[in-house]
Amino acid sequence: MSTPSKPRMSEFQTGRLQSTSERGYVEELFGKQKAYFGTDVTKTYEWRVDQLDRLVRMLKENFERFAGASCKDFKTAAQENVFEVSASIATSEFTKSQLTEWMKPVEAPLPKFLAASGHKGIVYREPYGVALIICPFNVDESANLPDAAKKIVWGAMAWGGQWCTSPGYAVVHESVAEEFVAECKKAVVELYGTDPKSNSDYSRIISAAAVERLASLIDPKKVVYGGEFDALARYLDPTILYPVTWSDKIMEDEIFGPLLPLLTYADLGTLLAKIKSLPKPLAGYVFSRNQRAIDRLLQSLSFGGGAVNQTNVFLFIESMPYGGVGTSGVGNYYGKYGYDSLTHAKSVLISPPDVTIDHLFPPYTKEKVQALDQWFEY
């Protein structure tokens, strides 16, 4: 009797898709992926490593093409388009190095009486299934202002401001606001020169429509640097706006572009209350030399992730979880955290076949009722 061969992904993926609509195409492809997942082939260590190997090989063999595509889309700085590909390779290699450990069932502690009678509690990581992938805020008065300004400006302008952890705004104490504005203007020139449009280190916006949307957020009366744009060239100046208030149009939604609104505050408690009244952000950054202020901010405010005296780059660290909270996202990814977010923790109690827990069965005597306390003794 011959052994049936394992189904190949190509049997589910490469068959001609019949639908002519975009929605129908996606639904048909999604259906094929679900059918393939249903064969259980994707659950093995060997299959997963093979997919990672293929991904790494594809990225390495086409490194220049992917980097070039990023550059074409955004006129991205060399550091940025190279990082786009390198980060994916590094993430895949890290996952390969850890996958064996992540996939191991984990034995959980049990009540003493169960463990003594030979029971075991095992948690298995079970993949949820098929995924369709379509693919911040403060400076206090004790901060190192030139350092904070340069990092915040870079965080807001790198990749053309088109990454999800860019500072959406900066709030600075009113006593140092004017000095901070001056440092931000200096930082733009230091990073991108006096003519950013001709600077290869400054990225373009993804589309002309995106430029128009961003330009509509700019209040000309509050532009202290930049503000010019060229939609056909997909260009928008690195732009700083001051003084901005919470009610300004630019504060209504995520910016996702090289615009940096600057607000001021007088009292930290009032500022924290205001930020808490807003949807929880994906990222938050605090610049300060005052550890008490840092601790107060980190303990009081809820946000996906962030940094102290730095912006954006916390998401470069593969060993730390990355994700939002509330309206900014659900769950985490990166490394083991991503593996856990995409798998269900399936708990299984394994009992020896000849062991009975007598107090579970009637008649329920006083002794059996008292025996229930054993479930809480670990």
The residues assigned a catalytic role are: 164
Helix, strand, coil shares of the chain as percentages rounded to 5?
50, 15, 35
Other residues' Cβ atoms within 10 Å of the Cβ of residue 115: 13
> Residue 351's closest CA among 125, 105, 106, 110?
110
For residue 291, what are its two tokens? Answer: 């550890």
**CA 120 → CA 111, 268, 347, 349, 357, distances in Å?**
10, 52, 11, 6, 14
d(CA 261, CA 137): 10
Beta partners for residue 285, in sequence order: 307
Side-chain-facing half-sphere of 52: CA atoms under 13 Å: 18
For residue 107, what are its two tokens? Answer: 């034995």
For residue 279, what are its two tokens? Answer: 């949807």
Are 326 and 98 in contact, with CB atoms under 8 Å apart? no
Angle, helices 78-103 vs 45-61, to 10°: value is 170
d(CA 306, CA 283): 5
For the stretch 43-48, contacts whose Cβ atoms lie closer than 8 Å and that sit 24 or more positions apart, written own/partner, are 43/127, 45/99, 45/100, 45/103, 48/99
